[in-house]
Structure 1
Amino acid sequence: MTDRTSSVMLNRLRAVEWVGDRDHVLARVMSRRVLMREYLRRAALWAREYAVESAWPFFDATEYVDPGFRLSPEAVAELEVYLGRVPGPELRETCAGAVRLAVMRERNPAVLPDLPDLYEPLVLFYERGGEFVRDDAGGLDLTGVSFRPGTPQGNLATPPFQALDGTVLDALDARGRVSYYAHCAADGNRVLLVRRRVVRGGRHDEVFGPDLRWEPTDRLPETAEAIASAGLVLLDEIAAAGLIGDAVYRCTGRPVSRS
């Protein structure tokens, strides 16, 4: 394959287990849900940029960026062989788009819009558990969680998720029903992230500690009213992921965005 970047992206996709171990996939439900939400948001941005909302959400953006763009013959041949093993037309379309966009970015970055990388959240989603499928009602079954994709306009309002880092994604995954809360530290310079997990009726309260792990805590009062009175603010997954990303940056100095 003569296109170096197409080889890198294709090798990532080749490593995906499209139908993997169910327990392994279920253990990553939360991070996969956040990654899919971010992909749908980015796809809405790209669809709006090229006025192709009818193609949203799973499409090959390079067809609209530069209709005359072509991979090398060797890259086309390798990609076609790989796509023959990918289940489902929407998976094949986005895998092809990811490979082609990577090459387009290397060859002629000036042709691309000033938008976040379209396919990175979706490729990470694939790497963390394989396929998604459509259910009979048009929803997305991510294995362990299902939701409707909505509309391009609706997804434009989704808060961005920039912290595409393995440590952040791993920290989002947990068993049970999870609620996140933010609390200002005593020094006023840090925001502490705490969560409550309910697993089979059992409650587990945890704080995201300086060693980038969840540790038991007694900072969460028992009732919702007491939580609010204590100054704790309820967060969604995206906001929680942002605080985790901030903690990773403070501890390691490495950027957490791969957008």
Structure 2
Amino acid sequence: MHPRSAFERLKSIDWLDDTGAFDHTGSRMALMREYLRRSAQWAEAIGATESWPFFDLGEAIEPGIHVVGDLAAAMENFLYQNVTRGSIRNTCWGVVHWAALPPDKLAEFPGLDDPYEPLLLFYERGGPFTVEGPFINVGEGMVLHKNVEDHLSPHPVTDLDEISLDYLDADENR
């Protein structure tokens, strides 16, 4: 994904209306757990476990990576108007910086999945989250985040396709 495309996805999210969070509790819980799993794998691979879980992986992999010009200004303006929580701001910058990483840099870490796709889908299905102690509030549900080691499973939590995610929401609402 190109940094501009990543920014456009972030910009299309309704950050102020959390009604989607309640309609998509099941999928958002699974997507958050999948983000925690993937980001834990990356944090361990690059030696950044102390920054986990809501950090800018692009910056951690390629210190000093930046988006420039009008995209940087648009991103700052967007965050100023829509995103107040530091953990979410970090991950939004992480999404854009991740998209700016050169493919050869990512090739140094074979077998690791894009850490931000589950989080982008999470945001798209209902906006932000809040952290309350060891829990991540995702609307009508909570996800426990202990430490990196607890999230290092090699097995995905969920498929990221819309049918699978909708099934999780329907199952949650039964």
Q: TM-score, normalised by structure 1?
A: 0.61
In structure 2, which of residues 18, 21, 25 is the aligned counterpart of residue 25 of structure 1?
A: 21
Residues 158, 164 of structure 2: 8 Å contact kept: no
TM-superposed deviation, 1:34: 0.5
Aligned residues: 170
Give the aligned residue type for 2:6.
Answer: M
SS in 2 for 1:52: coil
Greater mean alpha carbon deviation, residues 4-13 or residues 78-87 = 4-13
Give the aligned residue type for 1:81.
Answer: N
Structure that is richer in helix per residue: 2
Highest Rg: 1 or 2? Answer: 1
- Taking the aligned partners of 2:164 and 2:79, their CA distance within structure 1 comes to 30
TM-superposed deviation, 1:55: 0.3
Q: Where in structure 2 are there 5+ consecutive unaligned residues?
A: none
State the match for 1:79 in structure 2. 75
SS in 2 for 1:140: strand
State the match for 1:111 in structure 2. 105
- Taking the aligned partners of 2:99 and 2:64, their CA distance within structure 1 comes to 16
TM-superposed deviation, 1:57: 0.3
Q: 1:1-12 to 2 correspondence within 5 Å?
A: 5-12=2-9
State the match for 2:90 in structure 1. 93
Give the aligned residue type for 2:131.
Answer: R
Structure 1 residue ranges (4+ consecutive) displaced by more than 3 angstroms after TM superposition: none
Give the aligned residue type for 1:49.
Answer: A
State the match for 1:188 in structure 2. none
In structure 2, which of residues 12, 16, 40 is the aligned counterpart of residue 15 of structure 1?
A: 12
TM-superposed deviation, 1:138: 3.4
Give the aligned residue type for 1:98.
Answer: V
Q: Where in structure 1 are there 5+ consecutive unaligned residues?
A: 178-196, 198-259
Residues 28, 138 of structure 2: 8 Å contact kept: yes
SS in 2 for 1:134: strand
State the match for 1:163 in structure 2. 159
TM-superposed deviation, 1:118: 1.1
Q: TM-score, normalised by structure 2?
A: 0.89
Residues 35, 121 of structure 1: 8 Å contact kept: yes
- Taking the aligned partners of 2:21 and 2:4, their CA distance within structure 1 comes to 26
In structure 2, which of residues 55, 59, 66 is the aligned counterpart of residue 63 of structure 1?
A: 59
- Taking the aligned partners of 1:84 and 1:103, their CA distance within structure 2 comes to 21
Superposed CA RMSD in Å reads 1.8
Residues 61, 101 of structure 1: 8 Å contact kept: yes
CA-to-partner distance for each residue in 1:14-70, whole Å, 9 max, x for gaps? 111123253x42221000001000000011011001111110000001122111322
Give the aligned residue type for 1:141.
Answer: N
TM-superposed deviation, 1:176: 5.2
